[in-house]
Amino acid sequence: MTDIKFVRDAMVEEQEPPAATAGFVGWIRGNLFSSTLNAILTILSGGFILFVISALLPWIISPTWNAGSLRECHEILAGHEGACWGVIRERWLQLLFGFYPSELYWRVVLDFVLLIVAVAPVLFTGLPRKMLAFSAIYPFLMPWLLWGGTVWLPIAVAFGFVLGFLAHRFAKPIIGGLGGAILAFLVPVVWWLFLAGPVSGGLASVLPLALETVESRNFGGFMLSITIGVVAIAISLPIGIVLALGRQSDLLIVRSLSVGFIEFIRGVPLITLLFVASTLLNIFMPPGTDFDIIMRVIIMVTLFASAYMAEVIRGGLAALPKGQYEAADALGLNFWMSQRLIIMPQALKISIPGIVSTFIGVFKDTTLVSIIGLLDPIGLSTTIRADQNWNGIVWELYGFIGLLFFIFCFSMSRYSMFLERKLQTGHR
């Protein structure tokens, strides 16, 4: 018995990991100095970052916030290098809202806040489903808030969709599916073209509910970019889906129309389409038609985005195994049901990165409108520089514009990564 020299009768306490592999020091050793080469690279890039910051910070931190002109900035700085932030203080509202009347800024702000409310239930399935009703109303509310005018016009436009739905519902049993579909398309178009205007005018004269009208010419700055971007993004997705399906269709006319549209639009640079919108349409339209320039630009940007969107979604459709289509057929689903329940949810999920990068591209492409004389942030920076007070300022304006664009685009891309994680169902 006495042979037993040692019996452990208590568990050893858990020890802290060695200091060199845990906590801050451990992280640094593991990630920054794990090998000689990594250590050298870390030191080099650290030095570079320090160099850039030490060059930039003294320029950025500059006591020129209250300066009223570039000359005052020079006086304040007295020969030192530094940014002239007075231009941002004086013009930031103009860069955000353009020439929108300042007492009506609330309408723009409200519009974009409501945009977030309207988009939320579409994106976050955890929210109450009743909020989707507001998302359906929003497309008609948004232009009314931005442009103003009588409330009856958006209502009349919305009524067109109701008419189309009713035509489809009640005509289908009588004249068959195809006739119903054609009527569902024709009735609203006739309503919009010939009746919506007079009816809303009549209603407005009976019950004048109207906001103060704001001309498109007064739109500018980021508000213009966001308006064009959001509308084009929102409309291009459904059009893109239809085009992608059309391109895969067995019906010759549908397929050739889709292919023709996509290839034509993709074969033409956006700036060409914008020039068509700003100059050619003007010449060809009947004289006296006052077709809003921003409308024309939005239509062109939407068409452009739709063509790209269609190809992104077609990529998603092509990535689906054939078995999914066959399974849908085997379940006895018709075309639209199988698309809605089986094909599209998977295809769209696959395409999310492509869709979001198209969105970001469209949003940034809106700066091209400065070339046709619309005053988006880039266009405004030219007129601001033409003010003799600020002539000669470059980096401050572009920096501010770039920062805002970065915030918008970065949040979009983070959001797409979040969506991908959320929709991940473990195929990979």
Positions touching another protein (CB under 8 A) are 70-71, 74, 90-91, 94, 98-99, 215, 217, 275, 278-279, 282-284, 286-288, 370-375, 379-380, 382-388, 391-392, 394
Closest distance to another protein from the beta carbon of 217 (Å): 6
The alpha-helical segments, DSSP class H, found in 249-376 are 252-266, 270-275, 281-284, 293-319, 322-330, 335-338, 344-365
Closer to another protein at the Cβ: 69 or 346? 69
Closer to another protein at the Cβ: 4 or 283? 283
User: What angle, rounded to 10 degrees, do the helices at 86-97 and 105-123 form?
Assistant: 70
Closer to another protein at the Cβ: 132 or 285? 285
Closest distance to another protein from the beta carbon of 420 (Å): 39
Closer to another protein at the Cβ: 55 or 122? 55
Closer to another protein at the Cβ: 83 or 244? 83
Q: Which residues pair with 211 in a beta bridge?
A: 149
Closest distance to another protein from the beta carbon of 88 (Å): 12
Query: Using CB atoms within 10 A of its CB, is residue 399 exposed (0-12), middle (13-18) or buried (19+)?
Result: middle
**Dihedral Cα 242, 244, 247, 250, nearest 10 deg:** -70
What is d(CA 69, CA 172) in angstroms, rounded to the nearest whole number? 68
End-to-end CA distance of the chain: 60
Closest distance to another protein from the beta carbon of 216 (Å): 10
Widest Cα–Cα separation across the chain: 116
Closest distance to another protein from the beta carbon of 196 (Å): 24
Strand runs labelled E in 109-168: 149-150
Closer to another protein at the Cβ: 328 or 380? 380
Closest distance to another protein from the beta carbon of 220 (Å): 8
Closer to another protein at the Cβ: 302 or 370? 370
210 membership: H or E segment, kind and range: strand 210-211
Closest distance to another protein from the beta carbon of 100 (Å): 8
Query: Using CB atoms within 10 A of its CB, is residue 109 exposed (0-12), middle (13-18) or buried (19+)?
Result: middle
